[in-house]
Each structure stands twice: as C-alpha cells, then as structure tokens.
Structure 1
Amino acid sequence: MLKDIARDNYQNGYNCAEAMLLAGNEYYNLHLNPDTFKVMAGFGGGVGVEDLCGVVSGSVALLGIIFVDKRAYESQEIKEITEDFVESFRRELKTLNCKMLKDMYREEDAKCSSVVEAGGRVLEEVIIKYKSKSK
C-alpha cells in the first residue's frame, strides 16, 4: 500500500515530502525523472520552519502529477481533489502544522513515521475516490 512505501521511504532517510512523492511514483508506476524529486527537498520539516507539514505538500504535488495534464486550470477537479485531501488529513490528524503534528505524534525512534503513514493512507483513499469518478 502507498502508506507502507511512504513510511519506508521516510524511515530510509527521505524527508516527509520526498517520501510521499517517491511513494506515489513507485506505487502508481509514474516513471518520474529522478530530478523531479529534488523539488521536494525544501518542503520537509514544514517547509523547513515547522509550518505546513511536508506530508501535505508532497501529497499535493503527487495529486497534481496524477490529476493534471499540463496546467492546473485545465483540470476541473484538482482544486476539489486537493481540498478533499487537505480536509481529510486535517480531520484525521487534527492539524496541517508540522510543529503541532510533531508535538502530538512524533516518537523518539520512529520520528514522524505515524504521520507519514496516516497521510499515505488518506492520500490513497482520495486518489481511489477520484480515479473511480473519472471512469
């Protein structure tokens, strides 16, 4: 499952944002150029300042890759899909803020693995929901 791949990526040294995009690439066989993952480097740790969780930013990047052909305005549903993911993540974990998530869920050894795993589960549910709508 996507959540397991994301968690494993995170536990193997990728930041939370990178872990999500890498997991999506593997799980959905996207064949992204390896340079694509560099874009997520600065999004880990809440954009480096413990603000917006990297799981959220990495997930939103993946949604764009999956649901947008060339430009966001060409996708009638990307705003709805993104909103659905963000609200589902917030419902599940209570906040989008990295610092608050760390305070609530971070463990000494596993760090934010539980947040990455929960985010991966929510992300997969949203992707399944919208892929089935487009059929």
Structure 2
Amino acid sequence: MLAELIESGFGNSEDLNCAEKILYGANQAYQLGLNKDALKLSAGFGGGMGIGDTCGALAASVMVLSLLFVKERAHESSKIKELTQKLFSNYRDEMGDINCTPLKAKHCHPEKKCYSVIFKAAQLLDKIILEHKNEIIKEKVAI
C-alpha cells in the first residue's frame, strides 16, 4: 500500500516534501479521490510546518485518518482521537520523537533526505488503516 509506494521512490522526482509524499501517496495508494486543490493543503506542513515542529509526514497521516474515519466533524467521530494517539505513540516509540528537528538530526541523510522518517509514517498509517478497515466511513477507497 502506501509504504510500498514510498519505498519505490514516490514523490522524489516531483520534489514533494514529507507531508506531500504522504497525502499524495495515500491519495494514489488508497484511491481517496482528492483533487489538486485538496492535495495542496499538505504543502505547508512539510519541515514540521516550516518551524521544525510536528513532523509533516505525521500531520499528513492525520489528514488521511480524518478523511477515512470522520464523517463531518471530529467531535462526532469515536475513532479519530484514538487513532491519532495510536499513530503518534507508535511513531514516537519507533523513531524516538514526533518533531521534525530531532527526527532530522537522528534520521535524515544527505542522499536519502528524510526517507526513513516518511517511510515509517507510511508503514504505521498502513497498519492502522488495515487494523480498522471495517470502521472506515469514506466510501470507495482501496484498502
């Protein structure tokens, strides 16, 4: 699914940032049906929202979870808070942090850039979606 797409180099030739790779990739992998304007919403989340804060790959992962598990508003969803907490907790456990600056210091390399950071977010997002696929609200997705 998404992790395999990221592993294949998705978004590299287009020079997508971390958040864009997750959202654009999820749109393709899960057939979310997002248009170009919707995809652009992820642009400002790269680089920890440009200030080294919460990793853009995680922010975009939350966007995907929201699309799949929220009908109209977060407060009506019984799943979004739980799934977001699970994503962030699992990511922190495996990568040591959720913020861009320390993640870059520990995991980014000149040649591969933030590949391992983005790939781990994709793996965890795939896992959560597969574990909860029977609870997805959005119709017509490929999971």
- TM-score, structure 2 as length reference: 0.88
Residue type at the aligned position of 1:81:
L
1:51 maps to which residue? 53
Q: In structure 2, what is the Cα distance between the partners aligned to 1:96 and 1:11? A: 22
1:106 maps to which residue? 108
Residue type at the aligned position of 2:98:
L
- Asked whether 1:92 is paired with 2:114, we answer no
Alignment deviations for residues 62-105 of structure 1 (CA, whole Å, 9 cap, x no partner)? 11011111111121111101111111111110101101001111
Per the alignment, in what secondary structure is the counterpart of residue 42 of structure 2?
Answer: helix
Q: In structure 2, what is the Cα distance between the partners aligned to 1:93 and 1:4? A: 19
Q: In structure 1, what is the Cα distance between the partners aligned to 2:11 and 2:47? A: 12
Residue type at the aligned position of 1:93:
M
Q: In structure 1, what is the Cα distance between the partners aligned to 2:88 and 2:56? A: 12
- TM-score, structure 1 as length reference: 0.93
1:43 is displaced (CA, Å) by 0.5
1:117 maps to which residue? 119
Q: How many residues align?
A: 134
Identify unmatched segments of 5+ residues in structure 2.
Answer: 137-143
Per the alignment, in what secondary structure is the counterpart of residue 25 of structure 2?
Answer: helix
2:141 maps to which residue? none
1:4 maps to which residue? 4
State the percentage of identical aligned residues: 37
1:35 is displaced (CA, Å) by 0.5
Alignment deviations for residues 38-77 of structure 1 (CA, whole Å, 9 cap, x no partner)? 1111100110011111011010111101111111112111
Q: In structure 2, what is the Cα distance between the partners aligned to 1:40 and 1:15? A: 9
Identify unmatched segments of 5+ residues in structure 1.
Answer: none
Q: In structure 2, what is the Cα distance between the partners aligned to 1:83 and 1:108? A: 31
- Deviating beyond 3 angstroms after TM superposition, the runs of 4 or more aligned structure 1 residues are none
Which structure has more helix as a fraction of its residues? 1
1:10 is displaced (CA, Å) by 4.0
